[in-house]
Amino acid sequence: MIAALIMAFQVMAEEPIPNPRLEERAQGLMREIRCVVCENEPVSQSTADIAVDMRRTIRTQIEQGKSDEEVRHFFSDRYGQYVLFRPPTQGLGMLLWAFPFALLVGVAAFLGFRSFRSRHRELAPLPDNGRDDVSG
């Protein structure tokens, strides 16, 4: 009996927003926000209880007229930047976006410098053994 009530409550919590445009926005946000219990799984795919609550919160905030950025900000304030699959492109988040590119540029510069240095070395002349006949 209690299990049936819990199942019915979860089904009610998973009701989509009647407006298809708003529901589409909510679904997009659910794919961008990470479940805090499951590793690397968006709340849209997670079956954890907290993911159900997070989906409900997303839909509620969308229905209240909040922007996508406000919803993301709500979850990042509550759970930290970890909860967002795409970190912000400002402040510390900018380092996360820029680091791979800076690493590639650094490696390319290092390899180019090494290749340039080794190409301009003067080679020592081969010793002359006194034989002019190369064929042996």
Task: Give domain status of residue 132, yes or no.
Answer: no
Domain shared by 35 and 75, yes or no: yes
Residue 17 domain-assigned?
Answer: yes
Cα 68 from Cα 62, distance rounded (Å) = 8
Q: In this structure, what are the phi and psi dihedrals at residue 19, rounded to the nearest 5 degrees? A: -80, 115
Q: Where are the alpha helices (DSSP H) in 33-91?
A: 49-63, 68-79
Can you give the pLDDT at residue 11? 47
Residue 58 has pLDDT above 90, yes or no: yes
Structure tokens at 4: 């049936």
Q: Are residues 101 and 50 in the same domain?
A: no
Considering the entire predicted model, what is its pTM? Answer: 0.59
Are residue 64 and residue 114 in the same domain, yes or no? Answer: no
CB under 8 Å to 96, separation ≥6 — which residues?
87
Q: Are 52 and 13 in contact (CB under 8 A)?
A: yes
Question: Is the model's pLDDT at 135 over the cut of 70?
Answer: no
Whether 12 and 70 share a structural domain: yes
Same domain, 27 and 42: yes
Minimum mean pLDDT among 1-5, 17-21, 109-113, 127-131: which range?
1-5
Is 109 in the same domain as 92?
A: yes
119, amino acid identity: R
Same domain assignment for residues 30 and 94:
no
Q: How confident is the model at residue 99 (pLDDT cuts 50, 70, 90)?
A: confident
What's the one-letter identity of residue 82? Y
92 and 51 within one domain = no
What's the domain count of the chain?
2
Other CB atoms within 10 A of residue 75 CB = 22
Both 39 and 12 in one domain: the answer is yes
Range of the structural domain that residue 115 is part of: 88-120
Distance CA 112, CA 117 (A): 9
**How far is the first Cα of the chain from the last one, in angstroms, to the nearest whole number?**
100
Residue range 33-38: average pLDDT? 90
